[in-house]
Structures are given as structure tokens and as C-alpha cells.
Amino acid sequence: MRILITGIANALGRRMAERLVLEGEEVLGLDRRPWPDAPPGVTMFNVDVRKRPAEEAFRLQPDAVIHMATVTHLAARKEERYRINLHGTQAVLERCKAYGVKQVIFISRHTVYGAAIDAPLYRTEPEPPLAGSTFPNLADLVSADLFAGSAIWRCPAFKTCVLRLVYTLGPSMRGTLSQLLSTGRVPTIIGFDPLFHFMHEHDAADAILAALRAELRGVYNIAGPPPVPLSILAKGTGRKIAYIPEIMFPKVTGKLGLPALSPYAIKHLKYPVVIDNALFREATGFKHAYDEVTVMDAYRAL
């Protein structure tokens, strides 16, 4: 099988590529960032997924495409995130249709559901992603998620699967949750201790490959161990807790040794975003290898 991975240079992409090569699969990698020590069996295309030269990778007619060339960090400007997340996803799906790809997997995030006081504790796949209304910075990712999901019925020529993945922690020390833990002081809003749902990045990569092998079509939540309260997450990863009055949050973020967060992030420090992944486990038989304590212990040791 020939598999194209967009955004291959990130931690999940590299892990999946290495696993696929060991299994004898041919891997094509598409990323603006270089991967100089990519293993033999991985053919790299160092180009923006939106640009015309990226079409060279699709001309090799991959059997499957795993699209994860999206931006989740908030350092990029809003316009740039829209161009990468939505326009990039549109370009990938158009090329998949043009070159006869049989299977497309879009990697989304569980945060597209949105953090809200009236939301159910465990979010299931039929629920709409509402993060655009509670966290405007995520509107571009929500749009990309919905556009990819629409391909399930718009593009019947290939199987489309949208995977809504929880936060990941691991050796790369990259990602949204790592950003929250990056300074060693974790902001918590006085009176709130929301559950945080996360999994080891190795388990996340294995789950995506499980979806590939099962040739899934539809929208699926992906999670590993049960969620834990933010206070336990902070202590378990060796961080200190900073108790902040809600009214002070916008004034202290990025100061006093605290991570720089969007003012809208306060909702995620008050209300949980937790998902039900029973549908995915039933469809693939996936079992996580790292429990929540192991993930936190390993991260603390980095």
C-alpha cells in the first residue's frame, strides 16, 4: 500500500511513518518542514500542501491519505490558520478526488466540540462541533473538520474518516497541552478544576493507523485513558498550580511565569471537553498502551 501523510514532520506523522515502513508499506511525506533523517522507504516532498508543486505527491497515486497538516497552535495569525486549515484541507480533498485516492483520514481535535457550562460531560460523534462560538480562535479548525466531514457524502469515490483526537503528551513536548504545561506553572481558575482528556502520542499514532487498517468511514472520537482533573494533571507532570481569580486571567496570561494563552482559553480552564470513544474502539479493537499515570510520569521525566 502507498500512503501519503501530510504534516509528516510532526511527532505523530513521524511515528506513523516509521511504523508503516517497518510493516513494508510505502510512505510519501508532504510537509513544509524538513525531515532530514527520514527512514528509507519514506519519500519526502518539502512543499506547502496548498501549493501546486504538492500535486507531485498525488500524481504517484497513493492508496490512502492521512491529512494532518493543520495548525492548532495560536501563534499563527488568524488569516494564516484559515489558509492552512480550511484551504489546505480543500486542496487535499480535491486532489484525492482527482487522483483516485481510495481512503482519506482527516485528523481533527476533540476541542472542536467546545467548552461550555451546559455541555454534556461525555461528547459523542453526533454532537455538532461548537467551538467556533465559544473559542473563536478554533473556528478555522471547526470549518476544516466540517468540510472534511462533508466529503463522507460529497465524495463517495473514496472513504472519508474524520478522527477527533484528544490532547497528546509525549517525547516531542509539542502540542496544545504541552503549551499549557510549558512554563512549569499551570493556571487554574479559582473554584474550577475541569477534567482534561489526553493520551500518549505513541498511542495516538497507533490509533490513527488502526483507523487506516479498518478502512473506516465516518466521524470517530479517539481517546486513551480516562480524563483527570487539571490539578492532578499539573501535579502528575511535576508542575506547580497557580490559582487565579477569573477576573484576573486576561491580565496575567503570559506573565508571572504563566503560559501565554488566549483570553478565550479561560472556558477550557473552567469546563471540561471529554469525549466518548466507544464507537472507535468497537470499530477497530483499539486499546491504549499507556494509562494516565504512565503518561504523566513519562512527561515529568522529560
pLDDT in tens, 14-32: 999 999 999 999 999 999 9
Reported confidence tier of residue 84, pLDDT bands at 50, 70, 90 = confident
- pLDDT of 83 over the 90 cut: no
- pLDDT of 74 over the 60 cut: no
Residue ranges of the domains in the chain?
A: 2-300
Of all residues in the chain, the percent with pLDDT exceeding 90 is 88
Tell me if residue 169 falls in helix, strand or coil. strand
* Cell representation of residue 244: 487565579
Reported confidence tier of residue 183, pLDDT bands at 50, 70, 90 = very high
CB count in 10 Å sphere of residue 234: 24
Tell me if residue 55 falls in helix, strand or coil. helix
CATH class of 2-300: alpha beta
Determine the pLDDT at residue 136: 85
Average pLDDT of the residues in 26-41: 94
CA distance 16 to 204: 9
> What is the pTM for the complete model shown?
0.95
DSSP 8-state assignment for residue 251: H
The C-alpha torsion from 205 through 197 and 120 to 108, rounded to 10°, is -30
pLDDT for 131-171, tens place per residue?
A: 988 888 888 999 999 999 999 999 999 999 999 999 999 99
Reported confidence tier of residue 72, pLDDT bands at 50, 70, 90 = low
Which of 32, 207, 198, 24 has its CA nearest to residue 105?
Answer: 207
CB count in 10 Å sphere of residue 78: 12
* Helix, strand, coil share (%) of the chain residues, nearest 5: 40, 20, 40
